[in-house]
Structure formats: structure tokens, C-alpha cells
Copies of this chain bind each other. A is one copy, B any other.
């Protein structure tokens, strides 16, 4: 499902295997179109303007029907960074803090997995 909004979609970039930051968001009202539109617009605005995030993937559950697959979340993001230090800067980036301020009332749970490449 995709919604139309006035924000520019972030572009996928070459995957940087130094650091992958993956987040799953569970919205409070995943079936509420207004909440979804507001979340997507805020997230796209943020990622389009972040100067630190490389690969900027926004996803929704593919609903692959296997027991080991978690499909209970509402949105995912996969971002990559050239280093752990740059990801730390991203955490404090003003556009990131603004996104959290704008949208945290929409989610009930966030789960993060941070990986460094082998």
C-alpha cells in the first residue's frame, strides 16, 4: 500500500555494509489510514533530509506465511551508515529528533536491531 503525499520519497542508495540500522514500528492504530498517512509523511520527510543515513528503505510486512516470520509490525526501515560513529550522529540529528517528536504518539512499540558487517 502506498499513499500520495507531498513529501519526496527517499532514494535507495548502495548498501553500506559497515553498519545496518533496522527498526520495526508497531502503530497503535495500524488500520487507521490517517495515522498511516501521517506516519509515512513524517518518516519520508525525515529520511529525505537526513544527511547521515545512506540506504533508506521503508517497508511494510510482506506477509510471507512461514512460522519463523514476524508479520505483526506496521512499518520497517533499513538504513545503512559508513560507521558506528556516523550512526551515533544520526541518532542526535535534528531532523531525527523532529520525526520522533512528531510521530511517537502514533506507535506503541519500536524494536531496533543494529548490525556491524562481518
Contacts and interface: CB of A to CB of B under 8 A. Distances in A.
B12 A115 contact: no
B84 A62 contact: yes
A106 B17 CA distance: 24
Given A12-B14, A14-B14, A24-B113, 20 more contacts: A12-B16, A12-B17, A13-B15, A15-B55, A17-B57, A20-B76, A22-B22, A40-B118, A59-B117, A60-B115, A60-B116, A61-B116, A62-B116, A64-B84, A64-B87, A64-B114, A68-B111, A70-B111, A73-B113, A76-B113
Interface in A6-65: 9, 12-17, 19-20, 22, 24, 40, 55, 57-64
Interface of A: 1-2, 9, 12-17, 19-20, 22, 24, 40, 55, 57-64, 66, 68-71, 73, 76, 78, 80, 84, 87-88, 110-118
A46 to B, nearest CB: 14
Contacts of A9: 118
Given A22-B78, A111-B70, A15 B14 contact: yes
